[in-house]
Amino acid sequence: MAPTLPVAIKAQIERSIQSLYCNLTPSELRILAANYKTSYETIRSTQLRLQRVDNTERRRGRRRIATPDVNVVVRYALEQAPYLYQDEISDLLETVFGITLSQSSISRLLKRLKITKKRLRIEAT
């Protein structure tokens, strides 16, 4: 929204869009823009934002193949065997989930999990 729009007007615009279930045609958006003396783009961006919130859409772009379940399996596997290489992690995921991840995808996954170095445990015998 325009930064100069008062908070009360922003709230009224949001209520108007929500009362119409966010399904407005471009001509209806133009009428709303004229009523509130703001631009069509402002009304349209508000409508899109409200639709994203309603659909719990978090991010744009391609959906990640590495789901939260994959994250749990990788973290558990590295707790049990901290010496695993990235290609071995990829083989494990292919066996368990049937998905193929490249070495760079495994690297990004480990970075997201904040696992940046191998953790080698030395046990006295």
Phi, psi of 20 (to 5 degrees): -95, 15
For position 89, what pLDDT does the model report?
Answer: 94
Q: Compute mean pLDDT per 10 residues along the chain, 125 residues long, and list them.
A: 73 81 78 88 83 59 80 92 91 92 91 79 67
Length of the chain: 125
Q: Are 101 and 90 in contact (CB under 8 A)?
A: yes
Q: Has domain 7-54 been given CATH number 1.10.10?
A: yes
- Domain residue spans of the chain: 7-54, 68-112
In this structure, is the dihedral angle defined by the CA atoms of residues 116, 86, 110 and 115, taken in order, positive or negative?
Answer: negative
For position 14, what pLDDT does the model report?
Answer: 84
For position 64, what pLDDT does the model report?
Answer: 76
Place of tokens 């083989």: 91
Question: Which residues are CB-neighbours of 17 under 8 A, at least 6 positions away?
Answer: 24, 32, 43, 46, 47, 50
Tokens coding 41: 């783009």
Tokens coding 10: 């922003």
